[in-house]
Chain A
Amino acid sequence: MRKVDVIVIGAGPAGMAAATHLAERGRDVVVVDDQRTPGGQIYRGAERNAASPARARILGADAARGAALIAAFRASGARYWPESRVWRVTAEREVSLTRNGRSETLGTPVVIAATGAMERPVPVPGWTLPGVMTAGALQTLLKGDGLVPAEPPVLVGSGPLLLLLANQLIAAGVAPAAIVETSVRPWAARGELSLVLEPVARRDLWRGLAMLAKLRRARVPHYRNATEIRIEGSRRAEAVSFVAGGRRQRIAASLFALHEGVIPAQQLSRSLGIAHDFDERHHAFGPRVDGRGESPIPGILFAGDCVRIAGAAAAEHAGRIAAISALRMLTADPALDAAALADEQRQLQAHARIQSLVDAVYPPPAMLAATPDETVICRCENVTAGELRAAVAAGCAGPNQAKSFLRVGMGPCQGRLCGPTVAGLIAEMQHRSVGDVGYFRIRAPLQPVTVGELADMQDA
């Protein structure tokens, strides 16, 4: 089995920062990422975007920051494996991945998982219709492929990313037809006023206010505290209908972007059997990882939004924290770089505090309770909220039994797009906390791998 010093999974800001730090110190680092170029979600396509005036104007400072980070990463000497997918990590730190149609397994003393976040699934009636995408998908098309909607889309949901997308679309000349916000509590920010004194927070807050002002200037219709969202249409999405301001409204369009915030991608940490805690405020599970990025499994570190959502700048700090922890393991020197570590930790904490402000302004969607029975919750297997509720009423104990009874979570997405909903709905029916209900048991392969690839594996 091939051996390397460190394997980093994910080439977003966290993974790139970790790999750059390690490679600059002479370590043999392999970075595995499923995209075609480095950058992760926020800096997707940043090299190309920074070089294109049209794109750079729309994406603002992000493209430049991303391009700089990528340049440092490319120059660092880390080995970068694009279009490669990790499908198993074991507690013995064997990493199996598929690359160029073949599967292989590498051994390493240290794994840094920096697999990032995913958008929280938004199960509303009609969300499976063609013409409904996530806000992140629209961003991906913009950053990765230079595409913008041909006609003004309607943005539905809540969270900073929705506002960011609206601004990017305005800059691209396709102002949204409307923003339909589900839950926002701008006044909650007042409760966290002390935070605003922090310089990083001031910068983010300023950015947020500027985004809102731009929306107003572009005269984008803005609905707040919308409930009872449904996407209408038979073969494709034709309109969104919702209740706001005390009455039902309907907006016709050809494209709808849903978003309810991002949550840590749990597949990898779950598959390792690491305990996950449910963050009530952020309303998401995250793996139990300490302030040095260390999980309970020796040599398996986590960094960035896959642990706890704190954004791209925080992810860089988290990446370097994990890199320092990795160096401590490799050198068997537990006191290495203590000052640098403390400094990174302090900066990470500052970003985490801002995130708690964001969480207060954009509280978790309270929509699960109101999810109509006919809503599809599992896109792969077409399981509805009503079917899950009936199974729970008949004694189904939790997500894993629900999976075996209803096939919810058994499809190719491996439960990614229904897991949070399933846990949430069961918690509601059983009057338990989501943390108590738990989650699907996640097992390898974390990414689909063919039978032929498995049969042909050299190192298993």
Chain B
Amino acid sequence: MPSRQPPTSLPSERFAVDVAVVGGGLVGSAIAWGALEAGATVALLDEGDVAHRASRGNFGQIWVQGKGEGHPPYARLTQRSATLWPEFSARLGVRTGIDVGFSQPGGLTLCLSEEELATRAAIASRLDAEGGSAGMAILDRDAVARMTPLPLGDSVRGASFCPADAHANPLALLRAFHLDIQAQGGAFIPHTSVEAVRAVRGGFAIATSAGEIVAGKVVVAAGLGSAGLAASLGLDMPVRPVRGQVMVTERAAPLGDFLFTGLRQTREGSLMIGGTQEEVGFDDGTANVAMRTMSRRAVASFPDIARLDVVRCWGALRIMTPDGRPIYQQSRRYPGAFAATCHSGVTLAAAHALVVAPSIVAGDLPHELATFSADRFHVQAA
């Protein structure tokens, strides 16, 4: 955490808003932006330059395929978000002039063995049985070869495909949120750590490193920094870090629009290769072994990639709940205090802005969202 921060001043001595959002990552920013759209006055608080920020280190996929297996409401929320994304990103783009790079070519999960293929097929049929897989289909090698921009590696057996999968530039998205929040009259207050929140008459007093803010409602969306603040508001956010490593190559000429699990080409031309899942606590470093594993899979999928130079590599920490599903909850003890977190902040950005935020402004989470209460972690076994 940064010890020294640039001077920040609040817009006024006793600054008051309808909704204060703690955490300026993708989850908090989407909710703050959506709350402004829903007519509320908003303050968005965020820390300094060096902070754990999944939003700055992720893969940028709006990934629907396979999500919500065993939990139809999560599958529905994810699919709804993907449906809302085109209109949502267009609105943001028109207003800010920032192209968030949304496109929806559909996503492929390449399978390098018959076993992998069988696993994907099983997931698709379970999802279909549970209420819908968003059109997830299993393709054989020839069908995959026709869809891919580069010659396939010998070991590719086939793939699962989902037309709803899409991608965007998550950094542009975050920046567009921050700019538009300010343009629409919201207060974006960076370099400002929230130290404590307490309930006061008519709302909450939020103590920050720059002074106090009073808000009718407060949303804790501080990623891995959420647990402590949430607890003081009677909310439970049992999140833990799960590291993901990502590698990025030099820019390459456009290969056409395509999307794979663990591989995509950005608008700028770089190939992003990645995503490990590692339980290593707050260590956001990188390691050769993971780089080798990711490289091997990339080369096995598309041998031509072997010649590209890797120019950047990073580790970032996902914010993971015990069952991997989001938490959205209003505090029973302190109504008006909300918790929001998930491990797919890009995918769910549209839903956070256009579904979750308006319900927070309205002061009530509808049933479809209330099912994401953290109470689920405390059900006593019979």
Q: Which residues of A contact B (CB under 8 A)?
A: 88, 94, 96, 105, 391, 394-401, 404-405, 407, 410-412, 414, 430-432, 436-438, 441, 443-445, 448-452, 454-455, 457, 460
Contacts and interface: CB of A to CB of B under 8 A. Distances in A.
Given A105-B288, A395-B190, A451-B298, A414 B50 contact: no
B307 A450 contact: yes
B49 A394 contact: no
A298 B122 CA distance: 51
15 contacts: A88-B288, A96-B288, A105-B288, A399-B49, A411-B311, A443-B285, A443-B286, A445-B310, A445-B311, A449-B309, A450-B306, A451-B298, A451-B306, A451-B310, A455-B299
* Chain B contact residues: helix, strand, loop or mixed: mixed
B50 A398 contact: yes
B292 A457 contact: yes
A274 to B, nearest CB: 14
A174 to B, nearest CB: 36
A455 B296 contact: yes
Contacts of B190: 395-397
A404 B182 CA distance: 19
B157 interface: no
B222 to A, nearest CB: 15
B268 interface: yes
Contacts, number: 114
Contacts of B48: 397-398
A454 B307 contact: no
Interface residues of B, number: 46
B370 interface: no
A438 B312 contact: no
B175 interface: yes
A430 B6 contact: yes
> What 6 pairs between A and B have smallest CB-CB spacing?
A398-B49, A452-B306, A448-B309, A454-B295, A455-B295, A460-B288
B178 interface: yes
B291 interface: yes
A426 to B, nearest CB: 9
A441 B299 contact: no
A96 B188 CA distance: 42
B56 A404 contact: yes
Given A432-B6, A443-B286, A450 B313 contact: no
Contacts of B182: 394-395
Contacts of B247: 451, 454
B17 interface: no
A448 B250 contact: yes
Interface in B145-199: 171, 174-175, 178-179, 182, 188-191
Contacts of B308: 450-451
Given A398-B48, A407-B268, A452 B313 contact: no
Nearest to B305: A451
Contacts of A391: 175
Nearest to A435: B4
A397 B191 contact: yes
Given A445-B310, A460-B288, A460-B291, A452 B49 contact: no
Interface of B: 4, 6-7, 46-50, 56, 171, 174-175, 178-179, 182, 188-191, 247, 249-250, 268, 273, 285-289, 291-292, 294-296, 298-299, 305-314
Give the interface centre of A400, A407, A443, A454 by most chain B CB atoms within 10 Å: A454
Contacts of B295: 451-452, 454-455
A335 to B, nearest CB: 35
Contacts of A437: 49
A404 B247 CA distance: 15
A438 B5 CA distance: 11
B50 A438 contact: yes
B188 A395 contact: yes
Contacts of B312: 410, 414, 443
A401 B188 CA distance: 15
Contacts of A398: 48-50
B49 A443 contact: no
A460 B295 CA distance: 12
A401 B308 CA distance: 26
Contacts of B296: 455
Contacts of A443: 285-286, 312-314
Contacts of A454: 247, 288, 291-292, 294-295, 310
B42 to A, nearest CB: 14
A448 B50 contact: no
A181 to B, nearest CB: 34
A455 B306 contact: yes
B306 A412 contact: no
B97 to A, nearest CB: 12
Contacts of B299: 451-452, 455
- Among the interface residues A88, A401, A432, A451, which one has the most CB atoms of the partner chain B within 10 A? A451
B174 A404 contact: yes
Max chain B Cβ within 10 angstroms of own Cβ: one of A410, A412, A443, A455? A455
Contacts of B249: 451
A430 B295 CA distance: 41
Contacts of A400: 49-50, 56
A457 B298 CA distance: 14
B250 A412 contact: yes
B49 A412 contact: no
B306 A394 contact: no
A400 B250 CA distance: 19
